[in-house]
A and B are shown apart, each in its own frame.
Chain A
Amino acid sequence: MHVLGISCFYHDSAACILRDGEIIAAAQEERFTRIKHDSDFPANSVRYCLAEAGIADSKLDAVVFYDKPILKFHRILETHFSAAPAGLRLFMNAVPVWLREKLWIEPEIRSALEQCGAQAPEIIHFAEHHESHAASAFYPSPFEDAAVVTIDGVGEWATATLGVGEGNHLSILEQVSFPHSLGLLYSAFTYFTGFKVNSAEYKLMGLAPYGEGRYTDLIKENLIDIKEDGSFRLDMDYFGYLDDLVMTSGKFEQLFGRPPRKPESPITRQEMDIAKSIQEVTEEVVLKIAQHARQKTGKQNLCLAGGVALNCVANGRILRAGIFEDLWIQPAAGDAGGALGAALSTWYNVLGNPRKTDGRHDQMQGSYLGPEFSRDQIKEYLDAQGCGYSELTDSDWAPTLAKLIADENVIGLVQGRMEFGPRALGNRSIIGDPRSTKMQSVMNQKIKFREDFRPFAPSCLEERVADYFDLDRASPYMLLVAPVREDLRTPAEGDEGELEIHEWTNRARSELPAITHVDYSARVQSVNAESNPRFYDLLRAFDDLTGCAVLINTSFNVRGEPIVCTPEDAYRCFMRTEMDYLVLGPFLLAKGEQPGGNSVQSHPGENSPD
């Protein structure tokens, strides 16, 4: 039996297909259309999922949408009842789109599926938004039973929920409702510090370690009322999203004594301190919710999803606080993962199918759920383009790449199935040597064309994680931040707070400078042979050659562009940047051997802010 899950029309549309409860494929539409956070109907993702399941042109057994449109519309109408006479601009922006499109989702899904060659069943299911998030967190987890927490911007009404999963049954017990939202609070600060809302929240998190929590009390005294059980309300006088198209109000600006930072303008100490302060508040709320979840459910394990679950610093805090024995976070924690959760909720919660767990392995298959390109497909493309390449044998592949990396080359790596979720986990990644002192600025400025305050994430052999990080468990999805071990650190010199941010960033913090943040933290991915044999082999070969079991792993894209999907996307990105080598499956391409040679075919300025 096949169940198709769909999420779309807000941001990050995606599709997922299950066969008898097993995840066969899942992909975000942006990877195919090359439009970042594409929110249109995920026609390409659906087509791909059907083809991966081998059921193109056949009738689907169940189709499920990841939220309930009419409940959402109700929330929008109530917002306008509450805001009028203010809010006309917001009303005129939202209501026509709802009347024209978003209220007619069922016929739209039917006709779009027809165009994809599939037939929808009689009934289309609609899961609740946070039910989808919760299901995406609990059902693929290794746990037989667990507390389930979801926190995001907003779904229909809920912005945070607490639930419990047992066997094949999941129920949501309580919720915090709109407009009181931890996700929107974080987004308001993202906006206020000059970053893009719904897209660049992770930059604010990356900026936080540079700052001091000078505004933490100010935020807690004015903007948010946090109860002991983690529930909260916001003082809406400080926010703009109830009655305008902006996140913060004039009162918010008065509170901080300044207007929002203009995007792309220099980052000052104040932005760093604001970032640190909102991060501290977020962590406090998340920790209190986790404590409450433990008390309320009595469960020993916690599952997390929703956009706020991508805040890996907060996740690391939950783990170290020891509230739960173990923690599992959905790698596609944002709305794309809603497609997966909606499908899983239908399979288990609605259809009542049994669920098996072993307490150790999850059902995500490493989150490698997207398309994979065969050797022959890649070769045909490279030959047609006249690209220069060599083909590596299975035994040569890892040692050759390890040697190139050790020689400080930057490599674009495309192999296996594309990742589902916002992180590149070794199949669509740019990799480099973390020991190199220049690597962080080279990769930031010449390859990713992004701000240089952000360090890169490390991928590490799973069995060697404890040699580098204070982390006692696997972190396969790069969703936990852990401190770099004390004995590897380089002490700070003088008062670094006085330094310009790029100077500060470029100071080596440890023996692995490119992956160590200013506060000695790192966003770790642990790699084992089971979930990604090729990438594991590469890490092992690098370890054999250099004694270092860690590589820099950053997503294969440039600023403002989705992560690459096809060999063609990868080749184009490779030629636009100063990457040294490109690996497409077994093929190795050197920049100097390509038609057009070393020329960088586009200018960083062409990349729009992300």
Chain B
Amino acid sequence: MTGLQPGRPEAAEVIWRWREPPKKNAEPSASKARIKGTIQGGVGLGVAAAIYLLWSQTIGTVVFCISTTILLSALASPLGLYRIIEGVFVSLGNHTGRALTWLTLVPLFYLFFLPFGLLFRRGRRDRMKRFFEPDEQSYWEPHKAFSAADHERQF
């Protein structure tokens, strides 16, 4: 056995920082919210103008209204109305993300995994080997020999 090595106090210091005050949730800052909302609203207005001039007046007007609401709410009520609107957009974004995941993965499951899975199983190519083999002596399988080059691969 290698000798007992004492732990270094400097190392203990790295993971025990009791002198630091506990991290509080960042206080919501009105000025930060105002700046953020102004930038979002400003960019939105620019996008609205581009859409209005180059593509569709209707869509441009809708984007203009949304951007103006964001901008005005950030300026007038950065910790009130603006935060509510921001929350709605975040939640909308999350739900959209989840919906897109389902919209892409569910068809993948049924159009790819199901047919190919059925095909594999018909050809007895089921890697899960869901059957007992009473006549076999062993279920041990040979393991690939170790090679140092394998260590540099994730497979």
**Residue pair A48, B14 in contact (C-beta under 8 Å):** yes
Looking at the complex, which one of B5, B121, B140, B154 makes contact with A24 (CB distance below 8 Å)? B5
Is A349 within 8 A of B105, CB to CB? no
**In the assembled complex, which residues on chain B have CB atoms less than 8 Å from the CB atom of A417?**
6-7
B9 and A377 form a contact (CB under 8 A): yes
A interface majority secondary structure: mixed
- Residues of chain A within 8 A (CB-CB) of B3 are 365
A-B contact count (CB 8 A): 206
Closest beta carbon of chain A to B108's beta carbon, Å: 8
Q: How many residues of A contact B (CB 8 A)?
A: 98
Q: Which of A125, A170, A235 contacts B152 (CB 8 A)?
A: A125
A70 close to chain B: CB less than 8 A:
yes
Q: Measured between alpha carbons, how far is A384 from B146 in the docked complex, in Å? A: 55
**In the complex the two chains form, is B1's CB within 8 Å of A174's CB?**
no
Contact A78 B143 (CB under 8 A): no
Q: Closest residue to A160 on the B side, CB-wise?
A: B140
A173-B3 Cα distance, complex, nearest whole Å: 33
Stretch at the interface among A224-232, A246-254, A321-329: A224-232
Report the separation of the CA atoms of residues A54 and B128 in the bound assembly, to the nearest whole angstrom: 47
Cα–Cα, bound, A374→B18 (Å): 14
- In B90-131, the 8 Å CB interface with A consists of 101-102, 105-106, 109-110, 113-114, 116-118, 120-121, 126-131
Given A88-B106, A242-B128: A365 in contact with B121 (beta carbons within 8 A): no
Contact bitstring A158-174, B, C-beta under 8 A = 1, else 0: 10011100000011111
One of A79-87, A394-402, A440-448 at the interface: A79-87
Given contacts A54-B8, A236-B128, contact A84 B152 (CB under 8 A): no
Asked whether, in the complex, the Cβ of B132 is within 8 Å of the Cβ of A227, the reply is no
Q: Chain B interface: which size bin?
A: 35 or more
CB of B54 closer than 8 Å to a CB of A: no
Q: Are A52 and B11 within 8 A (Cβ)?
A: yes
Chain B residue nearest to A226 (CB atoms) is: B139
Docked complex Cα distance between A170 and B146 (Å): 8
Contact B139 A233 (CB under 8 A): yes
In the assembled complex, which residues on chain B have CB atoms less than 8 Å from the CB atom of A242?
Answer: 128
Contact B109 A91 (CB under 8 A): yes
- Asked whether B113 lies within 8 Å of A233 as measured between CB atoms, the reply is no
Q: Which residue of B lies closest to A368 (CB)?
A: B4
**A81/B117 contact (C-beta < 8 A), A47-B15, A88-B106, A346-B151 known:** yes
Which residue among B15, B113, B151, B154 has the maximum number of chain A CB atoms within 10 Å of its CB?
B151
B14 — which chain A residues lie within 8 A by C-beta? 47-48, 51, 56
Q: List 16 A-B contacts (CB under 8 A).
A: A70-B154, A84-B117, A105-B154, A125-B151, A170-B146, A180-B129, A227-B138, A349-B146, A372-B8, A373-B9, A376-B9, A381-B18, A416-B6, A530-B1, A531-B4, A566-B16
A-B contacts besides A80-B113, A377-B13, 20 pairs, CB < 8 Å: A51-B13, A56-B14, A74-B155, A75-B127, A82-B121, A84-B109, A84-B110, A91-B109, A126-B152, A142-B1, A173-B143, A228-B137, A231-B140, A345-B151, A371-B11, A372-B12, A373-B7, A381-B18, A417-B6, A566-B18
